[in-house]
Every structure is written in structure tokens, then in C-alpha cells.
A = this chain, B = another copy of it.
Amino acid sequence: MAERGRGWARAVRGLLLDVSGVLYDSGAGGGVPIAGSVEAVRRIKASGLKLQLCTNETQATRESFVRKLRALGFDISVAQVTAPAPAACHLLRERGLRPHLLVHHDLVPEFAEIDKTNPNCVVLGDAAENFTYANLNEAFRLLIGMEKPVLISLGKGRYYKETDGLKLDVGAYMKALEYACDIQAEVVGKPAKTFFESALAELGVPPEQAIMIGDDIVSDVGGAQRCGMRALQVRTGKFR
């Protein structure tokens, strides 16, 4: 049993970690680290395991997200973060799509290089305070006015936990627009297979030698398993 345990652990070369609810609880003033998580990241890096943060957080650019994590004590670089916005930009370029953005103010710079004139799709992120009645109606009208509406969603999470309580996540607003327009969104964050594949490519580790750790049974655990990884659900964050 002990032998088997060691064998299993020896085969692991890379760790993928969800961030919100695993490393910290987000919220006003940058949020707070979850007890033991700063030390855990330090020990993972010291052990020689490869580490990649795999987040659906879309309330900031990767640069400012990493600045926030470093301020909380996590020794992380931008290259160690896989996030939906760069994945979305890749897809927009590939397909010649010009987005109308319904995203958080602080995420907008990620789309600086993308042509946004005369939109032919809507990109939806966790817009938080930008999820106003007027902004949702505007995104809806653009979609319903398209011959073939294209809605790209930076995730499909139901809700997440901030320091002041649970918040509706982008998935809820995605469902609202899907229903109103009778369409299916394309999801580019977790649990999309391509998203986990690009995180593994960053690590240079095959799926069978990687473990995903997250607090969301669908986005984190389900997505990773469909990609051939093992996955663990932690009981922090939004776990109920």
C-alpha cells in the first residue's frame, strides 16, 4: 500500500491549481489567502514539481492578477497563469471575429490588439458591476440582430465566493443570453478541453502525469478528467 502510494506520487510531474477558492478567497482589497496556501505553493515549487495556475478569473489582466497574488505572498509569474482572455483572443483572431465586450473594466486591456469595430460576436466574462440591465440588453440586442449569433463565454461557473459572500458567476449570465437568443455559447475557459490542453502544454507534462486541484466539481474536476488528468476537489472556497 505504501509502495503503491509512492509509485502514484512519483508519476506526478505537474500540478494545475485553481486559484479562487483554492489559494485565496477573492474580494474587496484583493481578497485573503486561504490558510496554509502560501506555504503550500512554496513547498510545491521547492519539491521540483511543475506548477501552473489554471483560473477562470476574468476580472483582471493576467499581469494585474499576478501582481495581486504576489502581494498576497504567492511566488508566481505571469507565464505560470493560464486564463480565458488570452485563449479568447486566440480564437477571435483565428476566426476573424470582432467582439462586443461585456467584461470587467479591468479585463479590457487584454483585448487591446483586437479589432472591435462593427461587432460580429459577443464576448462575455465575469463583468461584476458591469452586469447592468442596460449592458445586458445591449449585448442581447447585438446577438439577436446577428444572422448567426456568436456568444463566446470566458467560463461557465455558476457562482463563486468572495470575502463578502457568494456571487453569481459568468455562467448564470451566459444562460440568460443563451435562453433569450435560443443559442449555445462557446466556452473558452474551464471546463473546455482546449483550455486544459494549453495549460498542460505550458507545463510540458502529459495529462497522465498531472493533477488538477480545484473547488468546482464541473469546471475543475470534470474538465480535467475529460482531459485525461486526475483531479481533486478541495473543501475550501465555495465547497458546500
Which residues of chain A have a CB within 8 Å of any CB of chain B?
A: 128-133, 136-137, 140-141, 144, 158-159, 165-169, 171-173, 175-182, 240
Set B133, B141, B171: member contacting A131, Cβ < 8 A:
B133
Return 5 A-B CB contacts under 8 Å, by A number: A128-B133, A136-B168, A140-B168, A158-B182, A175-B179
Pair B177/A137 contact, Cβ less than 8 Å: no
Closest 9 CB pairs of A and B: A172-B176, A175-B179, A176-B176, A172-B180, A131-B133, A175-B175, A158-B180, A159-B180, A140-B168
* Closest residue of B by beta carbon distance from A181: B158
Contacts A136-B172, A169-B180, A172-B180 known; list 4 others, CB within 8 Å: A131-B136, A133-B168, A141-B165, A168-B180
* Closest residue of B by beta carbon distance from A179: B175
Q: How far apart are the CA atoms of A180 and B126 in the complex, in Å? A: 14
Residues of B within 8 A of A173 (CB): 176
Q: How far apart are the CA atoms of A130 and B169 in the complex, in Å? A: 19
Determine which residue in A166, A171, A176 has the highest number of CB atoms from chain B within 10 A of its CB, and name it.
A176
Q: How far apart are the CA atoms of A141 and B168 in the complex, in Å? A: 9
Q: A129-B133, A132-B133, A133-B131 are contacts. A166–B179 as well, Cβ < 8 Å?
A: no
Q: How far apart are the CA atoms of A176 and B129 in the complex, in Å? A: 16
